[in-house]
């Protein structure tokens, strides 16, 4: 396997389905041994990128490489270097957990497939259920087995396409620990997710995909630093006051807050804008029940960056 610093590279990837352009020029790199999160809304193109990088789909333009192997021309080298866990568990329900693992070991021609299966059963906390039919497994157990199967051959790169979709909070946290352990043991992980907390909790590097391109990337703190530190959180006593406040503050960027009748208003952080905001409400006879500055979150960054991109697109069209 070629020795490379960036174990995954994507340069100007493009893909359309009929007249619908899904990817219009995607660029990113993933460093060896890191966790890279591809973050985006449903339909943003995350799974399309994964399919291209894993040789399941051919790009219309651009190029990509995995472990130094060209995805388009050296598919055998790519497939020998990766493992893919899709959005839905690909396990055989008529077999036991141990049998599922051993079959993958046989397909990969592993000389110690039984030992490796036992190691993974222990790592993924499935030892007690190893000899039960998978049809008896819970959703979380099936998901853990699915990822364990992807690690049977110790691949240097693992793709996890929305690995926690459908899992309850306890199993989500358990899956996060598994992903961290994978990276700690030297595996490079590229995961797609629509959960902002998941990306922030796991990833060394996050790329936000929107309308076919990467619109921002960096770690969670770097993305949040793109925002001004002037977000004001306002809470109102009634739905009527909330609606009137949104109308009055239309000159500002506003997102719904986490609490009931709460909005987050983006300012430039200056005293002047804060005073203007309160003055508009006061003149209309609206007194917020609560107001306080808010530290930006990754969700704030995500919504703001996508909103700015949409505004630029609308401006270009007009």
For residue range 39-92, what is the model confidence (pLDDT) as tens digits? Answer: 888 888 999 999 999 999 999 999 999 999 999 999 999 999 999 887 666 789
Question: What is the CB neighbour count within 10 angstroms for residue 188?
Answer: 25
Mean per-residue pLDDT for 99-108?
A: 91
DSSP-assigned beta bridge partners for residue 11: 63
Given a cut of 90, is residue 318 above it in pLDDT? no
Angle between helices 97-107 and 139-150 (to 10 degrees): 20
- Predicted confidence band of residue 305 (pLDDT cuts 50, 70, 90): confident
Percent of the chain with pLDDT over 90: 49
Report the pLDDT value the prediction gives residue 230, as an integer from 0 to 100.
76
Domain spans of the chain?
6-224, 231-295
- Residue 13, SS3? strand
For residue range 177-186, what is the model confidence (pLDDT) as tens digits? Answer: 888 988 998 9
| Fold match, 6-224 / 231-295 | no
Q: d(Cα 90, Cα 134) in Å, to the nearest integer?
A: 11
Question: What is the CB neighbour count within 10 angstroms for residue 105?
Answer: 21
**Which stretch of 10-14, 103-107, 254-258 has the lowest confidence by average pLDDT?**
254-258
For residue range 199-224, what is the model confidence (pLDDT) as tens digits? Answer: 889 999 999 998 899 988 998 888 87
Report the pLDDT value the prediction gives residue 315, as an integer from 0 to 100.
44
Given a cut of 50, is residue 14 above it in pLDDT? yes
Report the pLDDT value the prediction gives residue 3, as an integer from 0 to 100.
58
Given a cut of 70, is residue 314 above it in pLDDT? no
Cβ partners under 8 Å of residue 293, min gap 6: 229, 230, 231, 232, 233
Mean per-residue pLDDT for 25-35?
A: 95
For residue range 221-263, what is the model confidence (pLDDT) as tens digits? Answer: 888 776 656 788 899 999 999 999 999 998 887 888 877 899 9
Report the pLDDT value the prediction gives residue 182, as an integer from 0 to 100.
87
For residue 17 the two structure tokens come to 């389905």
Report the pLDDT value the prediction gives residue 97, as an integer from 0 to 100.
95
CATH topology of domain 231-295: Alpha-Beta Plaits (3.30.70)
CATH dotted code for 6-224:
3.40.50.300
Element (H, E) at 233: strand 231-235
pTM of the model: 0.74
């Amino acid at each position: 396997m070629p020795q490379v610093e960036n174990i995954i590279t994507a340069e100007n990837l493009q893909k359309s389905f009929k007249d619908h352009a899904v990817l219009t020029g995607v660029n990113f790199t993933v460093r060896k041994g890191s966790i890279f999160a591809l973050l985006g809304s449903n339909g943003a193109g995350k799974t399309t990128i994964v399919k291209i990088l894993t040789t399941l789909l051919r790009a219309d333009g651009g190029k990509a490489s995995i472990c130094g192997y060209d995805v388009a021309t050296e598919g055998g080298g790519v497939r020998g270097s990766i493992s893919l866990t899709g959005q839905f568990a690909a396990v055989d329900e008529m077999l036991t957990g141990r049998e599922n693992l051993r079959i993958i070991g046989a397909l990969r021609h592993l000389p110690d497939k039984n030992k490796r299966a036992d190691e993974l059963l222990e790592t993924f906390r499935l030892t007690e259920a190893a000899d039960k039919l998978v049809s008896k497994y819970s959703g979380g157990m099936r998901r853990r087995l699915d990822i364990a199967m992807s690690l049977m051959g110790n691949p240097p790169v693992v793709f996890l396409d929305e690995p926690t979709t459908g899992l309850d909070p306890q199993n989500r946290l358990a899956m996060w620990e598994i992903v961290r352990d994978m990276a700690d043991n030297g595996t490079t992980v590229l995961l797609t997710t629509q959960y902002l907390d998941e990306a922030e909790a796991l990833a060394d590097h996050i790329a936000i995909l929107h309308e076919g391109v990467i619109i921002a990337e960096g770690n969670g703190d770097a993305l949040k630093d793109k925002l001004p530190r002037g977000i004001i959180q306002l809470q109102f006593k009634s739905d009527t006051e909330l609606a009137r406040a949104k109308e009055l503050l239309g000159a500002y960027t506003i997102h719904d807050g986490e609490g009931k009748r709460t909005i987050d208003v983006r300012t430039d952080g200056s005293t002047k804008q804060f005073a203007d905001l309160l003055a508009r409400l006061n003149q209309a006879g609206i007194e917020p029940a609560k107001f306080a500055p808010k530290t930006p979150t990754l969700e704030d960054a995500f919504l703001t960056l996508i909103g700015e991109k949409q505004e630029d697109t609308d401006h270009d069209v007009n």
